[in-house]
Amino acid sequence: MEPPTEGACRPSTRRLYPWEIDLLQEIFAGCLDYQAVRIHECARWPDALDRLSRRLRRMPASGGHNAVTLGNHLFFPVSLPQRPPAPGSPEIALVAWLVHELAHAWQYQRLGWPYLWRAVRVQVQLKARAYDFGGEQGLQEQRQHGCSLQDFNLEQQGDILRTYYLRRCQGKDISAWAQYIDDIHSM
């Protein structure tokens, strides 16, 4: 995913924009300390870390970008949209990426630093499959077996929230996702 402003991408740190918080309220409601979150944009090291860790795990190069979340600090190798993306805009994928990384900040706020070990472990053990939650059918089947959001690994949780946001923006059916979003509010 190549950001349109990469030529002018300079490292910077900020809080969540008010429009981002408005949009995220629908997912995290009062369950995330939004003010504690810091967004680092145009950080160079997450891509370098990804290249190194893929070599160590004998995985092919991704050819894409990598973000890293450490506690409340989200490090992106690109700049994120400064304003809400228009419907159908490719920038929606960047906001969905923010949702995935914020899931890790939410996990940190709930679990403390052990979340980081759990997230790294699942990436090492499952590699690219770490994120695969089975799509709409997987969500429905797991629900029928009594599973909640907590029964998915930390990367799957992030991608359930990311794809929820994407599908909502695309006007697709989100009923299989909605019950897992409700889980956030009842934990």
| Residues contributing to the site for Zn ion (CB under 5 A) | 155, 158
Pick 3 or 158: Cβ nearer Zn ion: 158
> Smallest distance, Å, CB 69 to Zn ion?
7
> Smallest distance, Å, CB 61 to Zn ion?
18
Pick 82 or 125: Cβ nearer Zn ion: 125
Pick 41 or 155: Cβ nearer Zn ion: 155
Pick 82 or 110: Cβ nearer Zn ion: 110
Look-up: residue for tokens 């996990």? 107
CB–CB of 21/177 below 8 Å? Answer: no
Q: Give 4's DSSP letter.
A: T
Alpha carbons 150 and 187: distance in angstroms, whole number: 9
> Smallest distance, Å, CB 118 to Zn ion?
11
Q: Give 116's DSSP letter.
A: H
> Smallest distance, Å, CB 86 to Zn ion?
26
Alpha carbons 127 and 15: distance in angstroms, whole number: 31
Q: Which residue is nearest to Zn ion (CB)?
A: 158
Pairing mode of beta strands 73-75, 38-41: parallel
Pick 131 or 177: Cβ nearer Zn ion: 131
**Which strands sit side by side in the sheet containing 73-75, from one edge to the other?**
12-14, 38-41, 73-75, 68-70
> Smallest distance, Å, CB 130 to Zn ion?
8
Tokens standing for residue 172? 């697709």
